Structure 1
Amino acid sequence: MSARNTILTRLRERTDGPLSAPDCNFAVVTERGWSPDERLARFERWITSVHGEVVHTAREDWCDVLAKVLADKGVRRLALGRDHPVAVEARLALENADVELVDVGRDIEAWKREQFESVDAGLTSIGGAIAETGSLWLWPTPDEPRLISLVPPIHIAVLDAETIEDTFFDVVERNGWANKMPTNALLISGPSKTADIEQTLAYGVHGPRELVVLIRHVSQLTENL
């Protein structure tokens, strides 16, 4: 009998009953009690501290702001999905703009070279954000595969202000990750960065060199920013 089977047999033959999970106090990783304004301020402070860029916009005007960001950064080829409401709105707004919209719902082998060599930016929706760490979270889908947020030089992420939670624990709990978690989830806390042995930081070596977060607000909130 292998060591593995020996251990499993001993567990199955326990005489003191089945194992049960101990009671846990998760207060240390939740219950920050921050207001929506505090969450927003903390998220922005942390993500901009690592070279993330935040742009605020009213929800009804976000496509106009997107068009300006694309123009300011010289984006000529934008990769995006087709089905998510963010992609649908962006496609309608950019239909006559000087930007080529690149479909991402293709087998990666069919356009891998194109994605790595000639796409200027990727646009994605965002599931939410974490105020405590200044992180975005998103679940890739066939319509928005993970590579469009990991490969193009610029990642443009569209975040709704009300989806910012206090902590990662709150994100997992309130969005039911235990019941419907995908095969992979992405946590993004700024553009790609790495350091050599001399601790010199370089951006964009293994992914986007720029991260632009478009934070959409209801009009009343935007007026106070």
Structure 2
Amino acid sequence: MSARDSILKRLRERTDGPLTAPESDYSVMGGRGWTPEQRLAHFEEKITSVHGEVIHADRSNWADALTQVLTDKGVKRLGVGREHPVAREAREALAGGAVELIDVERDIETWQREQFETLEAGLTSTRGGIAETGSLWLWPTPDEPRRLSLVPPLHIAVLDADVIEDTLFDVIASHDWANNMPTNALLISGPSKTADIEQTLAYGVHGPRELVILVRH
């Protein structure tokens, strides 16, 4: 019998009965009681404090705001999916324009160099936001792979104002992550940043230098 099996055997044969999880009060981790307006204000305050840029747009014409961002940032090559409604609306709005739309649902080996060297921006949808920390949360798919938000120097994320929740715990509970968590959930709280031993922040070292959030109302 291996050491591991021996330890497990002793645990199973405990004389004082099986181990049970202690009662836990998780109320302190969620339920801030904020209104939708307060959630949005908290979210914007936190994410802009770490160089995230928030742009508000109407749901009916948010693609106009996207076009303006691409113009202002000088983007000529945009990575974008095809299946998600955000991607479809963006493609329709940008069709025939000056921005080249790059398909991202390809084997990484076939376009790795292009992705890291010439792709100027990536556009993604989001599943929601977290007010307390100023974070976005994304579930990558083959249509919107995680590298779309992690590799290009500019990440443009589309967030609906009504899916911002108070805390990460509220997200976990309301979306049943205990039973339905994806293999890869992304939490994004600003552009890529790192710090040296003197804690001097540098942006864009390991990922996007800029993060623009288009908040749709």
Q: Give the TM-score range, shorter chain.
A: over 0.9
- 1:164-186 CA-partner distances (Å, limit 9, x unpaired): 00000000111121222111111
Structure 1 window deviating more from structure 2 (171-180 vs 79-88): it is 171-180
Which residue number in structure 1 is paired with residue 101 of structure 2? 101
Q: Which runs of 5+ in 2 are unaligned?
A: none
TM-score by length of 1: 0.94
Kindly provide the amino acid, as one letter, of the partner of residue 128 in structure 1.
Answer: G
Do structure 1's residue 150 and structure 2's residue 156 form an aligned pair?
Answer: no
Which residue number in structure 1 is paired with residue 191 of structure 2? 191
* Separation (CA, whole Å) in 1 of partners of 2:35 and 2:13: 51
Which residue number in structure 1 is paired with residue 174 of structure 2? 174
Which residue number in structure 2 is paired with residue 162 of structure 1? 162
Q: Which runs of 5+ in 1 are unaligned?
A: 218-225
Question: How far is the alpha carbon of 1:67 from its aligned partner?
Answer: 0.4
1:35-54 aligned at under 5 Å gives the runs 35-54=35-54
* Separation (CA, whole Å) in 2 of partners of 1:94 and 1:168: 34
Which residue number in structure 2 is paired with residue 32 of structure 1? 32
- 1:62-100 CA-partner distances (Å, limit 9, x unpaired): 001100000000010000111111101111111021100
- 1:138-165 CA-partner distances (Å, limit 9, x unpaired): 0111110000100000000000001100
What secondary structure does 2:111 align onto? Answer: helix
Kindly provide the amino acid, as one letter, of the partner of residue 150 in structure 1.
Answer: L
Question: How far is the alpha carbon of 1:17 from its aligned partner?
Answer: 3.2
Greater than 6 Å deviation, 4+ residue runs:
none
Which residue number in structure 2 is paired with residue 17 of structure 1? 17
What secondary structure does 1:92 align onto? Answer: helix
* Separation (CA, whole Å) in 1 of partners of 2:208 and 2:172: 26
Which residue number in structure 1 is paired with residue 203 of structure 2? 203
Question: How far is the alpha carbon of 1:43 from its aligned partner?
Answer: 0.3
- Superposed CA RMSD in Å reads 1.0
Question: How far is the alpha carbon of 1:113 from its aligned partner?
Answer: 0.5
Which residue number in structure 2 is paired with residue 138 of structure 1? 138
* Separation (CA, whole Å) in 2 of partners of 1:7 and 1:84: 49
Which residue number in structure 1 is paired with residue 115 of structure 2? 115
Q: How many residues align?
A: 217
What secondary structure does 2:39 align onto? Answer: helix
Structure 1 window deviating more from structure 2 (163-172 vs 191-200): it is 191-200
